[in-house]
Structure 1
């Protein structure tokens, strides 16, 4: 990592994933940094390569819906990093996150240079989210879009669950980095939402591959269309990521102070459904924390945005990403 003069003074430059994970280790060791302390320099770049007869200098129409899904996932990851919630991006933001298609002999490459978009995310996040948590969310998104090992190890896990033979050929370091991002996502709602969106977009793309296609995952790894489709095939036991946004009342706080992360029991005003949600440290802005406290003390109705994982009718995990007093405006 190199410290350079940025728009807000001295900033740490991130130009590759080694530097990113060095910074994540510093944060894990207690170093206090915020979005204004980091600048991305020529990295990361999102890249997907597909080989096959239909990708010999072209893009078949069957892949277009999946390509649009990729674009939406990148836009959502950006919005979650910047604003702490999904929202429509401005025209300028969409231009910076746009996927570009390169047609080569024997393959088609989809890529999106994202360092300018993430630098804008760092600037905007200074105003909207807790400093360290916002930075972790943006660094996590950068790692996921900049490292092909993320897709390799995710597919290896899916293949193992389906008893399909697929080796990710991942290094020990890549495996450790995948573990770090997965652990960070458990305690950072914005990063968890971005991770789920990117994984779903990967699934949609792979489902559109036919048996003659292959997804290129680095210099020494490919997965065939047939094996890829089998790996991402949904089964009744697969958890599904859903949103449970709505009007809620707080029934009780389970433990801990607001600013250190805790669990609360809530009830949906309309359906009367009750559930327990996680509120990780740094998820909410000071204004949102005040709204949450008022909602508990005054028994006021809160408009909540909640990410949840379900298996059948059972909610496995629910995490609050936003809370505000009163009904949301259209």
Structure 2
């Protein structure tokens, strides 16, 4: 007997399911996306009459690149788009429609989400597949997520800049509603529990940064009631650091060696029990200060028992260059 497919057609519906999941309630066994997510931007200016400039297209190319990397991470375990086949790249392509009048740009990500849903089958249980797809949809295609990004950049820049006039101009941008603040709390909780979504959120951040930079060439850019002029777009993207150069590689690991001979650095060699990959990790200083954590790592080595580690790693296309252990938990308390 075929399962009923629940169609998610709005952002409200998506967040309703996410809230339901976080409350411990079950999700539908199968979902599809109908007409959503679809980000819409309105660009005005002399060069934006049913057309886009190459500089603006760079932003959408970056979005496509980060979607490709996100799928590669889900499919191959590394955010390396070079691993994608020609067929996969074609299936993942976003659709950018340019409307009449001032350039109204609609970005459809149906191909990415459909492909992601298909790829996760067999790798996760039905509930995990559903929440991962919903999370990816709101992270990359949600208006609330874009507004949250804008608000984050606003707060960062207000703390960085000294010019009072620049600060006053930034303060004129009102982004977050009460509803969107609640959605921020839901997404923060979900992302903290799901390393794959955490990594997608970092990739989405970089894509949004490039999109925002590309809007500097327009007289104005609008998204769901938020209007950005070139000065605002330029200010918001100043000094923005790429986040996708780091990734969460949480999992079940065996501790192969603990090295505490260096008073400045506590190092641990670990091996992932699923992939058999070995890493040399530094343990976060704050983590070491917490009661019992240093001893827990040493005990795991002595007793040769696996533990669940949360690890933040710097990488180039999945090639790990450095790794930091954030926390350790018993496998029984945090199953893989």
* TM-score, reference length from structure 1: 0.67
Given that residues 243 and 305 in structure 1 are in contact (C-alpha distance below 8 angstroms), is that contact kept between their aligned partners in structure 2?
Answer: no
Deviation at 1:72, TM superposition (A): 1.0
Instruction: Tell me, yes or no, if structure 1 residue 155 matches structure 2 residue 155.
Output: no
SS of the aligned residue for 2:215 comes to coil
Distance 1:173 1:253 in 2: 48
Distance 1:317 1:23 in 2: 32
Q: 1:210 aligns with which of 206, 216, 220?
A: 216
Residue of structure 2 equivalent to 1:21:
15
SS of the aligned residue for 1:105 comes to coil
Structure 1 residues 1-330: aligned runs within 5 Å: 8-33=2-27, 36-80=29-73, 85-86=78-79, 87=81, 88-99=83-94, 100-114=96-110, 117-163=112-158, 164-210=170-216, 212-218=218-224, 220-234=225-239, 240-243=243-246, 250-251=254-255, 265-266=268-269, 274-275=282-283, 297=304, 308=313
Distance 1:69 1:9 in 2: 36
Deviation at 1:73, TM superposition (A): 1.8
Cα deviation 1:132-167 (Å, max 9, x = unaligned): 333322111111333222212211221122123243
Distance 1:98 1:244 in 2: 24
Cα deviation 1:194-253 (Å, max 9, x = unaligned): 1111110111122233365322111x2211122122112116xx684424799xx84379
The answer to which of 101-110 and 68-77 deviates more is 101-110
Cα deviation 1:248-299 (Å, max 9, x = unaligned): x843799xxxxxxxxx9546999955346xxxxxxxxxxxxxxxx9xx9499
Q: 1:316 to 1:177 in 2, by over 3 A?
A: farther
Q: 1:150 to 1:253 in 2, by over 3 A?
A: farther
Structure 2 unmatched ranges of 5 or more: 159-169, 259-266, 272-276, 285-299, 316-320, 329-336
Q: Which has the larger radius of gyration?
A: 2
* TM-score, reference length from structure 2: 0.66
SS of the aligned residue for 1:128 comes to coil
Given that residues 255 and 304 in structure 2 are in contact (C-alpha distance below 8 angstroms), is that contact kept between their aligned partners in structure 1?
Answer: no
Count of residue pairs brought into register by the alignment: 274
Q: 1:266 to 1:139 in 2, by over 3 A?
A: farther
Distance 2:327 2:34 in 1: 32
Q: 1:250 to 1:50 in 2, by over 3 A?
A: farther
Given that residues 98 and 112 in structure 1 are in contact (C-alpha distance below 8 angstroms), is that contact kept between their aligned partners in structure 2?
Answer: no
The two structures, once aligned, show a CA RMSD in angstroms of 4.2
Cα deviation 1:76-106 (Å, max 9, x = unaligned): 3344456664354444443343232415322
